[in-house]
Structure 1
């Protein structure tokens, strides 16, 4: 049947992208955790958003980020906070703003003996309609405004982090593709022409879905959701592990994604490489190989949850065609 090799080739290619995405995502997560990328990005956004252009106020972002309530979200004093609960952030910001108001009252009293209006800048961006000094809004209203402002700021930071993640995933995937010669064009050719290899990969993919139907499927979706809402990596691991243990106590330990690489047509054939580079002889082969690497790296940027869902849908299509 014509559709059978077509669908099996698609399944084999998608499964390869899934395994590579899982591995490269794990590598990037390790790098991100070691370098505290989420915390650094949040810190940069807060320093930029809470910057006072008048020069009359202290470093508000520094005061908020080092507030005892905020610092309690991280275990290491040297690491930037990866996520701040909106309620905690609002409490800290309201308290810091009160300190700034007191500071400016004292400064104005020392200089002119009277109190003027708060300068435009951070308070205006926070939409604190305060009027004259000392005539502050009710704390509850100020807290609600601070929460709304913080959520919008986090949304922008999340967007920038997603873009940065895609860039790093592409670079990680490209490096992985070059080192292990994961050429997507070569993969399609091998999967299409080798029925026995196709059968092995499809069997591995089916086994992978069965093993991870309850644990890895949930873990992948949990990781994606956790990144969306900004849960720190350490907290994600604890909550995901506890949920997985509660919901899938009878699930066996799944095969490591790395173990599936040995059955895939990847790796270097040095004899063919030398043929590609020998004084321009068949240099087109090298060019096609580079295009294959770029396709592989681009596929990895979609992420493991995407390829996992696509693989499930293609298997359902395969079952429909078989019936």
Structure 2
């Protein structure tokens, strides 16, 4: 069995990062549900497809610079947050279609967070076919006339692309739907990437908040684990006792629900996917907070407020009690390191913790095992 200082310090730090990464993931998921971010990003992806959503031309020469584009797009994100269909008439018609409207959970969450390629292509075909007042012998003729006369007021680039897809399909409606679904899948792949980037940004911001509020100073924690054998052993025991309980949280709650690469938009097993209630999330959050408090007690890192009356007035001063937390800049650096670690996500630290635990419990090559199962060094 490998059991040395470096491994135990690494094990303690990895457990701390896993614990607070899980806490941050739960908070991020609760915020995602409150602000309905999955549905908003799905709308953003559809807007990119159906509304020629490119504002860079409005910036003129400044549109060549990434920084100005980022600021400008951030402003438009605020506009779309409050008015998702602003300057998007066709997108509004798309969401008003019965096949899309009835997918919403309720009036507060009228827009769906998940959409299948089949529903997308079917809705587009229905909108094109119903836009004609005239009667046509075939659906192909109706779609061709709809694209030609553009009674739906499709944006120029979107209309041109649909016309090309219709011609590529040989003006066959079934093949046209297949090409629409391929287009949708390709766009949703990009949108899933946007969601992962947004999730990592949220985890970084939440991680900074957690590090500051819980005083998770990576530098101080590493120094404590290296210097104090008792704390190190207690932390290893805490990690060993809590790790099995974190398996269902990481695997079921986070991997299969929150952070699945396509979970924000579409999965083939949507009908049987596991839906986690808000009550469950709050219960898991309470459990993780208790574990965080226990870990903080083991490490002995805390804030303390004292009353100062030396000046004749009652002044309450709050500070850090641990001797390893006397330098404010080092504390900030420790918090920032913690936030960066949290932004990597709980699955990363869960897998790494499993590898370290397995390595730590491995019998070294130069040892054998006694009858009671304890490793015995070979002479």
Work out which of the residue numbers 106, 112, 126 in structure 2 matches 1:76: 106
The unaligned stretches of length 5 or more in structure 1 are 106-114, 243-252, 277-281
The unaligned stretches of length 5 or more in structure 2 are 54-87, 136-146, 278-283, 307-316, 365-374
Q: What corresponds to 2:222 in structure 1?
A: 188
Q: What corresponds to 2:123 in structure 1?
A: 92
Residue 298 of structure 1 deviates from its aligned partner by 0.5
Work out which of the residue numbers 268, 278, 281 in structure 1 matches 2:303: 268
Looking at structure 1, the residues matched to 149 and 255 of structure 2 have their Cα atoms a distance apart, in angstroms, of 50
Q: What corresponds to 2:340 in structure 1?
A: 298
Q: What corresponds to 1:249 in structure 2?
A: none
Q: What corresponds to 2:195 in structure 1?
A: 161
Matches within 5 A, 1:159-238: 159-213=193-247, 216-224=250-258, 226=260, 228-230=262-264
1:16 lines up with 2:46 in the alignment = no
Q: What corresponds to 2:60 in structure 1?
A: none
> RMSD value over aligned CA atoms?
3.8
Q: 1:267 and 1:145, CA in 2 relative to 1: closer, same or farther beyond 3 A?
A: farther
Do 1:128 and 1:137's aligned partners in 2 also have CA atoms closer than 8 Å? no
Deviations 1:116-146 (A, max 9, x none): 5768421333464446xxx982221111111
Residue 176 of structure 1 deviates from its aligned partner by 1.2
Do 1:204 and 1:260's aligned partners in 2 also have CA atoms closer than 8 Å? no
> Which protein is richer in helix relative to its size?
1
- Return 191-200 or 68-77, whichever deviates more: 68-77
Aligned pair count reads 290
Do 1:14 and 1:311's aligned partners in 2 also have CA atoms closer than 8 Å? yes
TM-score computed with the length of structure 1 as normaliser? 0.77
Q: What corresponds to 1:59 in structure 2?
A: 89
Residue 194 of structure 1 deviates from its aligned partner by 1.4
- Secondary structure in 1 matching 2:290: helix
Which 4+ stretches in 1 moved above 6 angstroms?
235-238
Q: What corresponds to 1:121 in structure 2?
A: 157
Q: 1:150 and 1:6, CA in 2 relative to 1: closer, same or farther beyond 3 A?
A: same
TM-score computed with the length of structure 2 as normaliser? 0.66
Do 2:215 and 2:302's aligned partners in 1 also have CA atoms closer than 8 Å? yes
